[in-house]
Amino acid sequence: MRIRLQHLMVVVCISFKCASAQSTVWGLQSGDRFSVITTIDSETVIQLADSAPVTSTSKEQLELEYLVGRVRPAETEMQVRVASFVRIGSSGNSFTDSMFDQRLKLLERIPITIRVDPNGVVTNLSGYRESLKQFAGPDRKMLQILHEAWPQQSFESWIGRPFWLTKPGDDNEARESWERIDQLSLGLMGGLRTVATCRIDSQTDDSAKVLVSGAARLIAPSPSDNDASPRSVSFTDVEVTDRSFAGEGLMLLPEKTEDEDSKPVQLRPWFASLALNWSVTGKANITNSGRSQNVSFQHRQKQSSELQPNFRMGRPAAISFPTPPPR
C-alpha cells in the first residue's frame, strides 16, 4: 500500500510539474532571470503662436531586470527592477545632473511586482505608487514630474513589451497575429493609447520577424497626485492633426526538443528585440501663470529594446544558447 501511495504521489508531482511548465509564459519557472535594455530617442518641437519653434531632444537607456518568483498555472509572478538608467547627454547643470543621478541610484533598488498570463499579458502591477514616493522622497515637485513622465499605464506598457512577442494559444493553433494594448506618455499633453497588432511577417525554424502596427489615439493627462504641487503649466484643448505608429520585432521560437512526454520544451525567452516608433503632430492651448497661448507641437520617439545575453532559465550551463540571426 505504501509503495502504491508513493508511486501515486510521484505521478501527481510529475504531472503537476509538466502542466506548470507548459502553462507559464515562455515556460518560465521560479528563479529564472532575464534583462532587457531599452534605448529611448525623443524629439519634441513646440512653437508658441508666431514665435520661432523650440526643439528639445533626449536620449536615455534603461535596463529592466526580471526575476521570476511564484509560478501558478494561470500566471507567472515576477519582480522587475531598474538595473540601470543612463542619460546620454546632460542638462549642462552639474548640480541638477548630480541630484538626478543620486535619485536614480535609489530607483535601482526599488522592485515592481507584475503578474503575466501564459499569453504574455500583464494582468497585475503592484508597488508603482510606493516606488515613486520612495524615489521622490519629500520633494513634491519631483513626485509631480514622475507622475507626469511615467503614469502607471505607461509604465505597465513599458514593462510588458518584451511579452508582446508571445504568440497566444497552443502550438496547434495557426495563429499569425494578436493584439496588445499600449500607452505612451506625452507628459503634460497626455498620452497615446494604441491597440497594437503583432503579425508574423516571416519565419525560420528558430525565429520569426514580427511587424507591429496600430492606430494611436490621444488620451487626457493623468490627474495630479494629491501629494504633488499644483501644475504651473498645463495644456488644454489638445488636438492631434497627424499621428503614426509602427514597429518591428524578432521572436525566438521555442525549441522543439521533446521530453519523455513528447511535449515541446521551452528553454529560453521568446523575446529577442523590439523597435517601436511614434510620431504625433497637433495643437493646443498652453497656460502658464494664468496666461494662455496657442501652441503647435510635434513629437517623435523611438524605443529600441534588446534581450541581454545574461538570461538564466533553469538549465545546465553546458547547454549552448541559440543566437538570433543577423538583422
Q: 21: helix, coil or strand?
A: helix
Supply the pTM of this predicted model: 0.78
Tell me how far apart the alpha carbons of residues 78 and 69 are, in angstroms, rounded to a whole number: 5
Q: What percent of the chain has pLDDT over 70?
A: 72
Give the residue-averaged pLDDT of 305-314. 91
Res 12 pLDDT > 50: no
Res 115 pLDDT > 80: yes
Tell me how far apart the alpha carbons of residues 175 and 221 are, in angstroms, rounded to a whole number: 36
Q: 70: helix, coil or strand?
A: strand
Pairing of strands 54-71, 111-116: unpaired
Do 192 and 186 form a contact (C-beta atoms < 8 A)?
Answer: yes
Give 327 or 114, the one with higher predicted confidence.
114
**C-beta neighbour count of 205 within 10 angstroms:** 7
Question: 187 lies in which domain range?
Answer: 26-307
* pLDDT for the residue 170: 59
Close Cβ partners of 20 (under 8 Å, ≥ 6 residues apart): 29, 71, 72, 73
Q: 317: helix, coil or strand?
A: coil
Q: Tell me: the pLDDT tens digits for 228-255?
A: 555 667 778 888 889 899 999 999 987 6
Residue 84: beta bridge partners?
Answer: 63
* pLDDT for the residue 63: 92
Res 21 pLDDT > 70: no
**What CATH number does residue 106 fall under?**
2.30.230
**How many residues in the chain?**
327
Q: What percent of the chain has pLDDT over 90?
A: 37
Tally the domains of the chain.
1
Do 79 and 67 form a contact (C-beta atoms < 8 A)?
Answer: yes
In a domain, 10, yes or no: no
Q: Tell me: the pLDDT tens digits for 135-157?
A: 777 777 777 777 776 778 888 88
Tell me how far apart the alpha carbons of residues 270 and 169 are, in angstroms, rounded to a whole number: 14
Res 14 pLDDT > 60: no
Tell me how far apart the alpha carbons of residues 257 and 27 are, in angstroms, rounded to a whole number: 13
In a domain, 11, yes or no: no
In a domain, 296, yes or no: yes
Q: Tell me: the pLDDT tens digits for 254-276?
A: 765 555 554 444 468 899 999 99
